[in-house]
Amino acid sequence: MGCCGNPDAESISRKAEKKSASMRDHELSHFAHRRDDGDVQYVFSVPGIKCGRCMGEIERALTERPDVREARVNLTLKRVTLVLDGGHDSPTAILDSLNDLGYPATPLELGNEIASAEDVEASRLLRALAVAGFAAGNIMLLSVSVWSGADGTTRDLFHLISALIAIPTVFYSGQVFFLSAFNALAHGRLNMDVPISLAVILALAMSVFETLTGGAEVYFDAAVTLLFFLLIGRYLDTRMRDKARSAVIGLSRMAVKGANRIKPDGTLEYLPVDEVSAGMLLRVAPGERLPVDGVIRSGSSDLDRSLVTGENVPIQVSAGSEAEAGTLNLTGSIDLEAARSAQDSFLSEVMRMLEAAERGRGRYVRIADQMARIYAPAVHALSALAFIGWMFVTGGDWYTSLYIAISVLIITCPCALGLAVPVVHVIGAARLFEEGILVKDGSALERLAGIDRVVFDKTGTLTTSEPEAIINDSLGKTEQSVSRALAQHSLHPAARAVAAAIHVQPADGLSAVREVPGHGIGAIWKNKRVRLGRAEWVSEITSRDLADKGGTAFAIEGKRPTVFAMRETVRPNAGETVKQLKKAGISTEILSGDERSAVTRLAHEVSIPAFQAGCRPDDKLAYLEAISAAGGKAMMVGDGLNDAPSLAAAHVSMAPASASDVGRMAADFVFTRPELDAVTFAHAIAIKAGRLVKQNFALAILYNCIAVPLAITGFVTPLFAAIAMSASSIVVVANSLRLLRLKPEIAAGKTSNENAFSGISKFEPSSGRPV
């Protein structure tokens, strides 16, 4: 055997390690979310994230890996979201990298309680706080006796008793800071807990030295009370962050853990929600939340869709109705056909968008990150300079010099700067969510605050995406009943409009129901053909030619046909929204692919003077690019597939939840409420958020400009430094929470544009878009 060891043994060891890593990757694969582009997304919980410096270290280390396409750290949620190359993803290697950095991580899957780890952390802080408070009270009583004149043996005894109380208290309650600091130092880095730990340990060590040497002054009361106030600040900070992310936590609790699948033989089988796939038929009982998005195939009930629309009024659903994951089934049992998996559901999309709100790297975030990275080294340098300077001033008095250095270590903490931006973004996202508006990226709030114009699409944006059918008074009860029954078998907007407009009971006995793409839906009823759809197609079963009528027609074979007129409905608050934008100095215009007469009528209805009709997607894109080239900052509000390029090219963009999938993905904001005042409220939140971020920066900088010189010049004790440091973080978070008080200026339901305008458009059944 050579000195280099056994090559075969080394080869076997490497193969075993590779096999072990492969097995771990397989075990972690069910935490993966495979995206449409083939890449894989993982979310890891990283409790060790404390400040902006931690965020920067993790992101820099991970983005240097060739298999990592994107890495974002969420400070408030203490999470890392990674997008890995789909062909070379290895979550095991990522976990090992994070562990080597000193940030142990665990993968998260949909439905895991976000709050659980934070609840454990809060409980640990509360226990440490209780112990420190109890010890501080008792040591303070002993200190009062010494201050009152106890000396000699009595003083030494009281000092010894104080030491016996203080030492275990510091080691128990201080481990919150000590473990974090040790972990950082062990991996060759600094975090905000390093100067705190150093200050507490030095204060305790000075007091123990004085006690053992019979000194007259000890600082056990200062060390323990210092720890007590630091823990108060950390606990309040944790609780206030919990409040800031309450929207995401609340959504995670709405994620169902499993579902009852209806097997072919009619029996029920319980499946974990991750195993539910599109096409499965699920049974949802009253009182349960829907596990995935889907279409109701049988049964009727009332659903609480406040998660989707922000409205608390339940809606009635029956066979053919669509429903979203997380909505609450209130009254009846329903059978739901899954439309997509839990990872791709509406609830998951909302959670991802809310979590992404803090990950944006806007201008303010980049400033905060740069300042936080240089802060820790600057703290230690200032403390060392204070010690050296006071040693020189006092002629070598190390006791006074160390005392002042401790105060500098404590009072200069980057917490407030680290929280200045992300806490505003996450609170802003939560407040928008309460009003039915989702934001994908915190930096979008910065961009929205600077817009100078809003460009609207017409159909589906200024108007609702669903047309309103006008029922002819001459249509008999039988024809209404049959047409409603036929319409309920189609998801086409025109068919849904017919079903919604007719209020008689749908007819029974339809058979051979078949939807013909581009034409409509047909069936057999009482041995006669019935059709609903394009007029020329429907006219094939009647003696009357409807080709020149257009629109959506219905006929029973051998009987007189009926043509349903379709009219668009202006979105609630559309006119008032335009008025509020003008009041804010923001110009408005319409870019639409519709005919000029329809666009003109709508522009007049909502008081928008500037509009363009007959625009193709490349026309809209070129127009927005021209605005950008001229220095303008336009917000695009659109919903269609043809709006996706202009939504992506605009300075900032918004789409309704009814928009196409591509449109929603391209937009920065998505609003789920029917009212268009989502635009003005989001703009108001963005303006307020920008002000709060600037205020937070000012508060953090002002605090340091006042506190640091006072500490260096010896006017601040370690105890006061602890109170000031904790207070600075709490003030920043409390200032950010003021964003929750902002209310919409336009009262819901009070608008001059609730009624449909008189313009009639022909509806083409295959696309649902005006032609």
Please list the active-site residues: 457
* Beta-bridge partners for 732: none
Q: Determine the Cα–Cα distance for residues 453 and 463; give it in Å rounded to an integer.
A: 19
DSSP symbols for 182-244? HHHHHTT---THHHHHHHHHHHHHHHHHHHHTT-S---HHHHHHHHHHHHHHHHHHHHHHHHH
- Cβ(165)–Cβ(220) below 8 Å: yes
Cα–Cα distances (Å) from 157 to 152, 153, 162, 210, 211, in that order, read 9, 6, 9, 13, 9
For β-strands 652-656 and 669-671, DSSP reports them as parallel
The two structure tokens encoding residue 205: 């060590």
First-to-last C-alpha distance (Å) of the chain: 84
Strand 652-656 and strand 322-323: pairing? Answer: unpaired
Rounded Cα distance between 739 and 431, Å, is: 7
CB neighbour burial string for 725-734, b if at least 16 within 10 angstroms, e if fewer = bbbbbbebbe
State how far the Cα of 231 lies from the Cα of 132, in Å rounded to an integer: 8
Structure tokens at 127: 């226990």
Residue 66, number of CB atoms within 10 A of its CB: 7
Crossing angle for the helix pair 220-244 and 175-186, nearest 10 degrees? 80
Give the E-state strand segments of 51-197 in sequence order.
68-74, 79-84, 106-107
Structure tokens at 493: 């907007």
Look up tokens 């709100």; give the residue.
357
Token pair 């990150």 is at which residue? 369
Nearest-angstrom CA–CA distance, 467 and 460: 9
Residue at 683: amino acid letter: H
Residue 290 DSSP label: P
Alpha carbons 300 and 298: distance in angstroms, whole number: 7
What tokens were used for 185?
Answer: 């130092």
Q: How far apart are the C-alpha atoms of 367 and 348, rounded to whole Å?
A: 31
The total number of residues written for the chain in this structure:
771
Name the pairing type of β-strands 511-516 and 520-525: antiparallel
CA–chain centroid gap for 28, Å, is 24
Spatial CB neighbours of 746, under 8 Å, sequence gap ≥ 6: 573, 576, 577, 580, 675, 677, 680, 681
CA distance linking residue 325 with residue 312, whole number of Å: 17
Residue with tokens 């993982």: 42
Question: Tokens representing 618?
Answer: 């490349």
Do 651 and 708 contact (CB within 8 A), yes or no? Answer: no
